Amino acid sequence: MRFSKRVDLFGDEVFAYFNQRRRELEAEGRTVFDLSVGTPDFDTPAHIKQALVDASKDDANWKYSLHDKDELLQAVCAYYERRYHVSGITPDMVMSCRGTQEGMQYVCAALADPGDVALIPDPCYPVFRAGTLLAGATPHYYPLTEENGFLPDVTTIPDDVADRAAYMIVSLPANPVGSVGTPELYRQIIDFAKAHDIVIVHDNAYSDVVFDGPRGGSFLDYPGALDVGVEFLSLSKSFDVTGVRLSFLVGRPDVVAATRKLRSQVDFGMFFVEQDVAIACLTGPLDGVERQRLAYQERRDALCDGLEALGWERPNCHGTLFVWAKLPGGRTDSSAFTMELMEKSGVIVTPGSSFGPHGEGYVRFALVLPPDKIREAVRAIGAAGL
């Protein structure tokens, strides 16, 4: 028996190793601070949990869904108006996904044929690369560098590469680097897409976790965005429903329709109970989302202030649940440093190399512990001489 070559496209899953080692350290009685995975530790709001309970009592909700409820599609449209002040989103511009992780695979396959070029940020969330490779497309990585504020720079992409590109993935606020887009940057990206006939796929998972400036927004708010692109709206981080996997592809109708067509070949749609949970998120109060943003900012400050006091270069984090930190003391091997950090201090982070070649020399911290625990973790780092 042999397996397909697709399996060889991917290395071992880094988070699985760290989870196993964390359990071993805890079994040894060690204090562990797991800042590797971006799973929110806040409680899910009561009205969202109640929506799940109520929906589960309706026998009709336990059938094959096969479609998104009209109420759900309308809720997404209304949410774009209420939250982002984006008007003109209609139900044919919306489809549900079982999280952006799943949706990214389908939209990549809908946009690219084997051999096509796809423009991918480096560093990036790994599914951007995985979805591209599974679609048979060839990634062309555009670097997110410290010199450019860890932001996309389309002027660095050669014209001949851009002309062959089927799509460009943009993720702002950006995981793992914590950068936040500007109106000028979005306008530049839209002009670039029009000039080269490229579809923009914008990952907007962290629009509600933006620090030090204006509230996060939507790519679709900018003139011309609906002509060239789609956006993933994720409910996971804003409403603490990561395990339910609630996401939506929103934007250019023909891209949404093509993605829906592919997905329908292998998936009967989002469970109706989950759809009702999503409606509760989209139509419910948003004051808790703002309180949570401020809590994340307090955590960001505790970590960045603490690391800087230890002699680290101040990390980058203007948004997202993540802090992007350069290795201290002139170190260059992020995997080796991550292992050393875990064994000596009990602090678990993710090596930057896991996110692409330009991630080497950095590590990613996730803001998933309260400020007092983060300060305790920083003290452990200092006590370990790191």
3-class secondary structure per residue, 67-128? CCCHHHHHHHHHHHHHHHCCCCCCHHHEEEECHHHHHHHHHHHHHCCCCCEEEEEECCCHHH
Rounded-to-integer distance, Cα 105 and Cα 135, Å: 7
Domain boundaries, the chain: 5-43+287-383, 46-283
Burial string for 258-295 (b: 16+ CB within 10 Å, else e) reads bbbeebeeeeebbbbbbbbbbbbbbeeeeebbeebbee
Rounded-to-integer distance, Cα 15 and Cα 208, Å: 25
Asked if residues 199 and 111 have their Cβ atoms less than 8 Å apart, the reply is yes
- Which 8-state DSSP code applies to residue 129? H
Rounded-to-integer distance, Cα 94 and Cα 103, Å: 12
- Which sign, positive or negative, has the C-alpha torsion 182, 153, 174, 160? positive
Phi, psi angle pair for 157, to nearest 5°: -90, 120
CATH code assigned to 5-43+287-383? 3.90.1150.10
- By three-state DSSP, how is residue 195 classified? helix
Asked if residues 197 and 227 have their Cβ atoms less than 8 Å apart, the reply is no
Per-residue pLDDT tens, the chain, 386 aa: give them. Answer: 888 888 877 766 666 777 787 788 888 888 889 998 888 889 999 999 999 999 999 999 999 998 999 999 999 999 999 999 999 999 999 999 998 989 999 999 999 999 899 999 999 999 999 999 999 999 999 999 999 999 999 999 999 999 999 999 999 999 999 999 999 999 999 999 999 999 999 999 999 999 987 789 999 999 999 999 999 999 999 999 998 999 999 999 999 999 999 999 998 899 999 999 999 999 999 999 999 999 999 999 999 999 999 999 999 899 999 999 999 999 999 999 999 999 999 999 999 999 999 999 999 999 999 999 999 999 999 999 98
Phi, psi angle pair for 193, to nearest 5°: -65, -40
Q: For position 19, what pLDDT does the model report?
A: 75
What angle, 0 to 180 degrees and rounded to 10, lies between the N-to-C axes of helices 99-111 and 253-263? Answer: 110
**Among 123, 33, 47, CA closest to 279:** 47
Going by C-beta distance under 8 Å and a sequence separation of 6 or more, which residues neighbour residue 269? 64, 65, 66, 67, 68, 96
Neighbouring CB atoms inside 10 A of 314's CB total 12
CATH class as words, domain 46-283: alpha beta
Rounded-to-integer distance, Cα 385 and Cα 197, Å: 52
